[in-house]
Amino acid sequence: MKIIVVGCGRVGSELAYRLYRKGHQVTVIDQAASAFNNLNPEFRGRKVEGELLSQEVLRRAGIEEADGLAAVTNSDSYNVVLAHLARTAYQVPRVVSRNFDPRFQSLHEAFGLQVVSSSIWAAEQTEQLLCQPPLRPVLSAGSGQVKIFEVVIPEPWQGRAVRDLLSEAPCVAVALVGANGAMLPAAETELKAGDLLYLSATVEGMEILRSRLNLAPEE
């Protein structure tokens, strides 16, 4: 895909490099040449310096042939206008707008844009880690016979292996999220207190685990 990333700050530079690594043709626009220093040295896409709302700059970046555009500057006004222009004036098929300040999220929504709010997402994730129950369902399959559960590993299970937790229980470990990111856990993977373990399990399987983890039954 031919993708334009507008804004080469922390988000834009990381996004551009990720897209480039996946084989897309990436063009980055920023009005400050120094911003391109944020890009990974391995990035080999195009860089276009100039006024972000300039039609000439957008055309130089290839907006008329673009398959996607991400407006990820630190200005909600710029992002909304750029995303709206890309979608309506240039008919770019895939357009995403970054919401920088949560107070202005409604501005993006008013234009019907696909919007990503890193601040709101981070706050929600942090809230969940601080306040969520130690075990909660996140997805139900069929009529609820099988669910995906999120389990917060308690302190007594520090250093134990996944196999110890799941032994003889109708459960499958789906993902483990810890300090170093997410991974697909193996039977021998070591658990750490506070890790998030995602499990696919039957109701019976989760009752076994609930007892094993010494968690109170659901009300």
Residue 208 has pLDDT above 80, yes or no: yes
Domains of the chain: total: 2
For residue 48 the two structure tokens come to 């276009």
Residue 132 has what pLDDT?
59
Residue ending a domain, choose from 54, 85, 118: 118
Query: Residue 212: what pLDDT?
Result: 86
Q: Are residues 102 and 140 in the same domain?
A: no
Dihedral sign computed on CA atoms, order 151, 152, 154, 158? positive
Q: What is the pLDDT of residues 52-103, one digit of tens each?
A: 999 999 999 999 999 999 999 999 999 999 999 999 999 999 999 999 999 9
Confidence of residue 219 (pLDDT cuts 50, 70, 90): very low
Summarize pLDDT for 101-130 with one digit per residue, the tens.
999 989 998 999 999 888 887 786 677 666
Average pLDDT over residues 185-201: 91
pLDDT at 13 over 60: yes
Q: Is the pLDDT of residue 218 over 60?
A: no
Q: Which of 86, 118, 150 is the last residue of a domain?
A: 118
Q: What are the CA-CA distances from residue 99 to residues 18, 83, 109, 215 (Å)?
A: 20, 11, 10, 39
Distance linking the first and last C-alpha atoms of the chain: 49
Residues 10, 114 within the same domain: yes
Last residue of a domain, one of 118, 144, 166: 118
pLDDT of 152 > 90? The answer is no
- Here the tokens at position 43 are 């990035």
pLDDT at 128: 63
Give 195's DSSP letter. Answer: -
Residue numbers of the domain that contains 80: 2-118
**Which pLDDT score, from 0 to 100, does residue 141 have?**
80
- The pLDDT > 70 percentage for the chain reads 94
Contact indicator for 214, 154 with CB cutoff of 8 Å: yes
Look over the chain and give the mean of its residue pLDDT values, rounded to a whole number.
Answer: 90
> Coil, helix or strand for 81?
helix
Burial class (CB in 10 A: 0-12, 13-18, 19+), 116: middle
Does residue 52 lie within any of the structural domains?
yes
Exposed/middle/buried for residue 162 (C-beta within 10 Å: 0-12, 13-18, 19+): buried
